[in-house]
Chain A
Amino acid sequence: MSAFKDAGHLFRFAGLFVLAFIIFLVVRGYVVPKSFGQYGHYRGNAITEIAARPVKFAGHETCETCHSDVLDVKSKGKHAHVNCEACHGALARHADDPSAVTPAKPDTAVLCARCHTASAAKPKGFPQVDPADHSNGVPCETCHQPHSPAITDAGGAK
């Protein structure tokens, strides 16, 4: 033990380091969230928090549970794969409580033109018209039923 005879000050110094390390561990235990490192170098609970954000577009399956009449018409027409909210807008609140929000009827003159205005940039097979030339301002729904837009009776357009 003679080697440590006059080393008391060194032990006290080492003790301070050990104490500082303990304080570091305790403080870290408090400030680092419990889920940090659960899946990697990030807070695991952040995933749950992001997953809990509210949904605004209900999804077409939800619409179809009530509006099966529209689905019957739409599924036979050219717009079978255009989902409800693509035209009617985000309606999760309507799906949650149908009486709380009444969806506004879209203006077909604006709505249809978004997709069907003729442009050389669009894929060649996609049906497109020059709205001014095609209908001269008459709303599209006068001739075309938006849920099934093909005109079948002889009097209409092609």
Chain B
Amino acid sequence: MNLSRRHFLVLAPAAAIAWKAVLAGTPDQAPNYTMSEHWWGMLIDIPKCIGCGNCVRACATENDVPEGYFRTWVERYHVEDEDMTNPEVISPDGGKEGFPVAKEDAGKYFFVPKMCNHCADSPCTQVCPVGATFVTPDGAVLVDQKYCLGCAYCVQACPYGCRYIHPEKKVADKCTLCYHRITKGLTTACCENCPTGARQLVDLKNPKDPIHEFLKTHSVQVLKPQMATGAKAYYNGLDGSVR
């Protein structure tokens, strides 16, 4: 076959593109789980939280969260009667071992469990320079730790402070919404271990999920709604002083 240089130069890129398409096979799918059928979120019912720290301990156990770092944590707010803008907030060791006993005095107390809000329009995924963090088709914000460079841009971008750089792996780490559990039909470790039901995993695409009735009948808020992150951690009974 007499292939001229000109013909070779035309054919070679076409062949390279075709070859790349052949290489791109179909990756494996998790059995019995279809991502397009779910849209995960979390309901956090403030009046039910007793600040026991079970969620923080369960999360650390389930996900091997390093000591001193938190994928979820609990804050205790103390708001004086006339000082809504300056609440006293404590979270000793993320609330892992509970809270010091509060004496009865002025103002009100309440606990606010915090975690990744698994935002639909998350600021953290938008800033990743290498495509290492992303929103899955079922609404979980995850980190590909093989791709992450550890630049910590996402840690700065998260308005909720829910990310950290893993001290040993040197890559971004965060709440996965227990993705390895919810894809197997289990609930998250924090929800499984909450004794009062203050945390509930919700599937917004499941029409039978009680969340739909709950959202219709309660005043539910997300944190920092002004940032338009599409946060999916829904707080019931959230006080205006919570930041």
List the interface of chain A (C-beta within 8 A of B). Answer: 15, 18-19, 21-22, 25-26, 28-29, 34-36, 38-57, 59-60, 79, 81-83, 85-86, 89-90, 114-115, 117-123, 126
Q: Determine whether the beta carbon of B131 is less than 8 Å from that of A55.
A: no
Q: Determine whether the beta carbon of B183 is less than 8 Å from that of A51.
A: yes
Residues of A within 8 A of B137 (CB): 39
Q: Determine whether the beta carbon of A55 is less than 8 Å from that of B195.
A: no
List the interface of chain B (C-beta within 8 A of A). Answer: 5, 9, 12-13, 16-17, 19-20, 23-25, 27-30, 33, 35, 47-54, 58, 61-62, 76, 78, 98-99, 101-105, 109-111, 131-137, 142, 144, 146-147, 176, 179-181, 183-184, 186-187, 189, 192-197
Given contacts A55-B180, A56-B189, A59-B186, contact A42 B132 (CB under 8 A): yes
Interface pairs (25), CB distance under 8 Å: A29-B16, A29-B20, A46-B134, A46-B147, A47-B142, A50-B176, A51-B180, A52-B180, A55-B180, A56-B61, A56-B62, A56-B189, A57-B192, A57-B193, A60-B192, A81-B195, A85-B193, A86-B58, A86-B192, A90-B58, A90-B61, A119-B99, A122-B109, A123-B48, A123-B50
How far is the CB of B45 from the nearest CB of chain A, in Å? Answer: 10
Residues of A within 8 A of B30 (CB): 48, 51-52
